[in-house]
Structure 1
Amino acid sequence: MELTHDILNYLGIFLICSTIIPFIRHNFWIFRVFEYPRIQKLVLNLILIISLVIFLDSNKPIDIVVLAALSVNLIYLFYLIFPFTIFGKKQIVSSKLANNTNNLKLLIANVYQENRQSATYYGLIEKCKPDVILMVETNKWWQTQMDVLEKEYPYQIKVPLENTYGMLLYSKLELNGEVKFLVEEDIPSIETDVKLSSGQTVKLFCLHPQPPVPQENPRSTERDKEILLVAEKAKKCDLPVVVMGDLNDVAWSYTTELFGKISGLLDPRRGRGFFNSFNAKYFFLRFPLDHIFCSPDFSLSSIKRLKSCGSDHFPMWVNLQFNPEAEELNHVPEATQEDKALAEEKINTPT
């Protein structure tokens, strides 16, 4: 019994520390990684509270203190993820039209470079028929396999790389853009105009920055900088804007929230669900890493997480409709002066 108490208390203290650590606004990976598993921490927190109640020894002050701290922690974690539940407020209103000439059907897929199930992706594309397809972690092998799409998707921007940061963009709609290297010379992004069937032009940004993990990059500096540079570009753009890609950041992180405030772009996940896109192989370690954001002049026809195609990421599908009237109904995030100063600080941080 004594050992059980000790284990529960130590786990509780560790869990509370894992919630406190992200308050330290440092770019080193250990301070950022604990932002990811907030759903998992909430579930573990609830299990620990129930266990401590069952094994509670009221004569031990440590039991009471840990139980009280875990209760506060549970409320805080729920507060953080609540906006992404079906009970949260939607940032972007729904549209009943799925095939209007102002609709833009988007598919983002991190294929996992070593994955060889290209035929599965092709079958998925044939089934859901997106207007624009972004595939990341694509090298020359993937380009060769997916170029079968060229007949149906005559507009392409391709930057295949062997470093797991290659990108392939296929479109049925006319593109006019280029590859950019915003922060690192071997990490590309794509910036392009997309001409909808109605004739309306939309600005599209495609991203896949490095994650802050020891085996990739021990700091989030470069990732945050690229994300926020695009946020500033989006804010200054006179066209409707869409940003899509594997941002290697969760929907509820302070960097992603800062991105939303600086850019003024909307997250279709809010008020609709988590749509955890990574890790496809482990159901208990899933986070929303693959994103599609849009400007307030869009409404949402649908958002889906599609079936796994052999990658460690699920593909994500979003059907947007350009609709200027929606701007009056959408909930647009706003940046404070403090937010703007923080964004500038991150953008100007040396890399």
Structure 2
Amino acid sequence: MAYKILIALTYFLAFVTVLPLWRYSAWWVRGFDFPRLQFMILALLLLLAEIIFLDFSDYDSWIVTTIAFGAFCFHGSWILPFTKLFPVEVKASRHNDPKNKITFLTANVLTTNQNYKGLLDLVAKHQPDVLVALETDRWWEEKLCELETDYIHTLKCPLDNRYGMHVYSRLALEDTAIQYLVEPDVPSMHALVVLRSGVRVRVHFLHPAPPSPTENPASSERDAELLVVAKSVSDEACPIIVTGDLNDVAWSATTRLFRKISGLLDPRIGRGMFNTFHAEFWFARWPLDHLFHSEHFTLAHIKRLPYFGSDHFPMLVALSYDEPYGADQEGLVADEEDKAWAEEKMEEHAVEESDVHEPGKENV
């Protein structure tokens, strides 16, 4: 009986390992991009059990053990960059000049969560320059209005569909826009944030809908929104930051494609996964809340903040604008196949680079 269970679990593991390699956008395929860490752990446990319990005079035992080992290595290769065993992609800041520092607190609040005081306490404690609140409706807007004493620059888009978005900033926001790039009820926000030094940073705040049976049956809408923003920033020389709940894991092929097309860097590489969802289930967590940036910045600090009632943990990321020091930082590079794949995904929803508001473009 134990032998049959090991065989069944190993072939199940093989199936869920191979299935996401299919570029089909259906939620039941793309959903297997998420639990690679869990699959890696399952592969390791199966491998150990098979070494202990299987009879290796039987040829089939070698086959299933090889499958488990291969799955462990495959999933591990996706996870490895998000551990301290991998070289960092973004340098640690060499100084802490407050004039060139910018700190983001990004929080998917969960619309039904009413612990607004928990979020306000986190803001009071960590004093971010910019708060990005997602899944916010009118109720949340009213509860967060006290922030406007200090955070006088705001962008507000309250919605009852779990895609509302609010940005509160101590730093000036210029040339702002709220857009619905792919779906008519899923907004994104775009602005220039002015650092205390006067440097203007192009920032995009995103929260595309995930592929799921209760949201979108496919990932194509999410992918198109991410990639059209990636394309819009790809040829820009100005400082750029993209942040939000992207409803995609850091190690998926589509997030890697976003990084390749945009040329932006991921400060988590070589530092950790910083799993933000699901906050209530320790055994089923993955990184859904992201911040990517151009080579103009180095990392002052990055931290996952405590639970405050949402299904997401908030993230706190502080960057230092230091163009000379960061100039040699390099991320992933797109090849022709990557570019063609990105174009295909954008064409599926008839969205183009020119559709994205490009803050400050007319001033360049």
TM-score range, shorter chain: over 0.9
Q: What aligned pairs does 1:129-148 form with structure 2 within 5 A after superposition?
A: 129-148=127-146
Question: What amino acid does structure 2 have at the position aligned with 1:18?
Answer: V
- The match for 1:47 is 45
Which residue type is aligned with residue 263 of structure 1?
A: S
Q: Is the 8 A contact 2:277 2:313 kept in 1?
A: yes
CA contact (8 A) 2:224 2:349 kept: no
1:221-242 deviations in Å (ceiling 9; x for gaps): 0000000011011113342100
Aligned ranges 1:157-172 → 2 under 5 Å = 157-172=155-170
Note the C-alpha offset of 1:137: 0.5
Write the deviation string for residues 166-215 of structure 1: whole angstroms up to 9, x where unpaired: 00000000002110110011000000010000000000000000111111
Distance in 2 (alpha carbons) for counterparts of 1:108 and 1:6:
46
Q: What is aligned with 2:5? A: 7
**Counterpart residue type for residue 146 of structure 1:** L
Contact 2:47 2:68 in 1 (8 A): yes
CA contact (8 A) 1:90 1:331 kept: no
- Cα separation, 2, equivalents of 1:158 and 1:54: 58
Residue 179 of structure 1 corresponds to 178
Write the mapping of 1:262-301 to structure 2, written as runs, cut at 5 A.
262-301=261-300
Instruction: Name structure 1 gaps, 5 residues minimum.
Output: none
Q: Which residue number corresponds to residue 70 of structure 1?
A: 68
Aligned length: 349
Alignment deviations for residues 36-86 of structure 1 (CA, whole Å, 9 cap, x no partner): 111111111111111111111235433221111111111121111111110
Q: Look up the SS of the partner of 1:236 in the other structure.
A: coil
Structure 1 residue 96, shift from structure 2 partner: 4.0
- 1:105 is paired with a residue of what secondary structure? strand
Residue in 2 that maps onto 1:106: 104
Amino acid at match of 1:283: W
Inter-partner Cα distance in structure 1 for 2:218 and 2:325: 38
- The answer to whether structure 1 residue 233 and structure 2 residue 243 are counterparts is no
Q: How far apart are the structure 1 equivalents of 2:111 and 2:25?
A: 27
State how 1:297-308 maps to structure 2 within 5 Å.
297-308=296-307
Identical columns (%): 42
Conserved? CA contact 1:107–1:317, under 8 Å:
yes
User: What TM-score, normalized by structure 1, do the two folds share?
Assistant: 0.97
Instruction: Check conservation: 2:205, 2:244, Cα contact below 8 A.
Output: yes
TM-score after normalising by structure 2: 0.94
Please list the CA deviations of residues 137-175 of structure 1 after superposition, one character each: whole Å capped at 9, or x if unmatched. Answer: 000000000011001000000000000000000000000
User: Is 1:98–1:319's contact at 8 Å kept on the other side of the alignment?
Assistant: no
Secondary structure of residue in 2 paired with 1:348: helix
Asked if the contact 2:91/2:326 (under 8 Å) is kept, the reply is: no
Q: Name the CA distance, whole Å, in 2 between partners of 1:120 and 1:29.
A: 33
Structural RMSD (CA)? 1.1
Q: Distance in 1 between matches of 2:204 and 2:349?
A: 23
In 1: Cα distance, 2:105 partner to 2:232 partner: 22
Retained in 2: the 8 A contact 1:155–1:173? yes
The answer to which of 60-69 and 250-259 deviates more is 60-69
In structure 2, give the amino acid aligned to 1:336. Answer: D
